[in-house]
Amino acid sequence: MKTIIAITAALLASTATAADLTGQWRVSFDGHPGGPLPFTLEVRAGRTGPEAYIINAPERLKVEEVTLGDDSITLVFPSYNGRLELKAAGDGSLGGAATVLRATGTVTLPARAVRGGWRFTPGAVKPAGNVTGRWNLSYGDNRVKGLFILKQTGAQVSGTVQLPSGDMRYLSGELNGTSLKLSTFDGSFTNLWTGTLAGDTLKGAQFAATSRPTGNPWEAKKERQASVAAVAVEKPGGDRLNFRLPAPDGSMISLADARYKGKVVVISIGGAWCPNCHDEAQFLGPYAARRQKEGLEMIGLQFEYGADEARAMRQISSFKSRYKLIYPMVYGGQPNADDTKKVLGALAPVKVWPTTIFIGRDGRVKEVHVGWAGPATGALNAQVKKEFDETVSRLLRERA
């Protein structure tokens, strides 16, 4: 009886604590390159425990693991190997830090949270114009061509950027006078875009967690027909791949295995650190399950940061579990030229993540799709999924 009473008391205490911390929080990484990077965090009581959502409008991203302590919130993102810890500071705010994994190692971002759902400016904001539309973008020192897709309601702005290397996921912010500010955080990936509107031109800088102080310069011009090719399609000369690589469960996976003979095989090259790979996996999981009976097999080929293979395997397992992927995922090494060449030979080095390899029933590489456009891109996302499906359907019709 004493044990039951103790457990009940603990549950009641936990519920009271959850109620104290539920609601909307405006979280800001104040030491982020380029200035404070804000996002909205919503904490609430769920059926089986506390839940939390990161809001980058219109996306509400459910946090993988949430723990509420006596005066703290801990958010864990196993598939990214990231976490955010916030603790009561005594003045109604929360203080703490996020840790995110990058190629250079673990990066710590000091964080502060206050009650509210505002983004950059707490009061009313008056915009100097309307940036809704498609903008041809010139990005970085090398002036890479891309596309800015924006939607403005009042002063609130949402949208994304599509580059040949992928999209920037959901960006959310405001146009305050002529000053445009957009930000995002998804548990690992941070992005801050700042710029100034002058007629039909936007110009500014973009910052990520490890950016230089000046950021990456960019300029965009509003044009009705602005467009970009989100995915490049390459047609190699019928190469064969012969890798044999480990999976987290201890098995070894090879294209010579019986399960792949006479099948169409799609190899998704990615990494848990890659936000576009997460978006692609949300599409690939249900797609692979739906078309497997027609002769489609898939393999997730992951290249992870760092030389710790055990950590990489845990990362891959978390990624696979998060998206309920039915197909094997294997570890290929680190995302660099040397490791990708060891696995992929002439098809390497991999420069864009994700990259997708399509293998016909005869075991030869038929196409390589370089890049991805995530759901934040709208019509571009629909187009890349259509092209993916058309390629698979064509290969399934071919004989071995």
Last residue of a domain, which of 82, 115, 148? 115
Residue 69 belongs to domain with CATH number: 2.40.128
pLDDT at 399: 84
Residue 123 included in any domain: no
Residues 255 and 201 reside in one and the same domain: no
Whichever domain contains 253, its CATH number is 3.40.30.10
CA neighbours closer than 13 Å in the CB half-sphere of residue 361: 14
153 located within any domain: yes
314 and 384 inside one domain: yes
* Residue 74 · residue 67 · CB < 8 Å: yes
What pLDDT is recorded for position 239?
A: 86
47 Cβ contact partners less than 8 Å away, ≥ 6 residues apart = none
Q: What is the pLDDT of residue 1?
A: 42
Residue 125, domain member (yes or no):
no
The answer to whether residues 65 and 176 touch, using CB atoms and an 8 Å cutoff, is no
Do residues 245 and 341 share a domain? yes
Number of structural domains found in the chain: 3
Q: Check whether residue 169 and residue 296 sit in a common domain.
A: no
pLDDT digits (tens, 9 = 90+) for 351-388: 999 999 999 999 999 999 999 999 999 999 999 999 99
Is the omega angle on the peptide bond into residue 38 within 30 degrees of 0, that is, cis?
A: no
Indicate whether 350 and 257 sit together in one domain: yes
Segments forming the whole domain that contains residue 39: 12-115
| Residues of the chain below pLDDT 70 | 1-19
| DSSP state letters, 303-349 | E-SSS-HHHHHHHHHHHHHHTT--S-EEEEE-SSHHHHHHHHGGGPP
CB atoms within 10 A of CB 53: 16
Token reading at 171:
């960006």
**Residue 122, in any domain of the structure:** no
Residue 241 gets which letter from DSSP?
-
Residue 43 lies in a domain: yes
Q: Kindly state whether residue 256 falls inside one of the protein's structural domains.
A: yes
pLDDT number for residue 236: 87
Kindly state whether residues 103 and 171 are assigned to the same domain.
Answer: no
Q: What is the pLDDT of residues 259-291, one digit of tens each?
A: 999 999 999 999 999 999 999 999 999 999 999
User: Which residue, of 115, 141, 167, is where some domain finishes?
Assistant: 115
**Residue 176 belongs to domain with CATH number:** 2.40.128.120
Instruction: Name the domain boundary from 222, 256, 282.
Output: 222
- Determine the residue type at 35: G
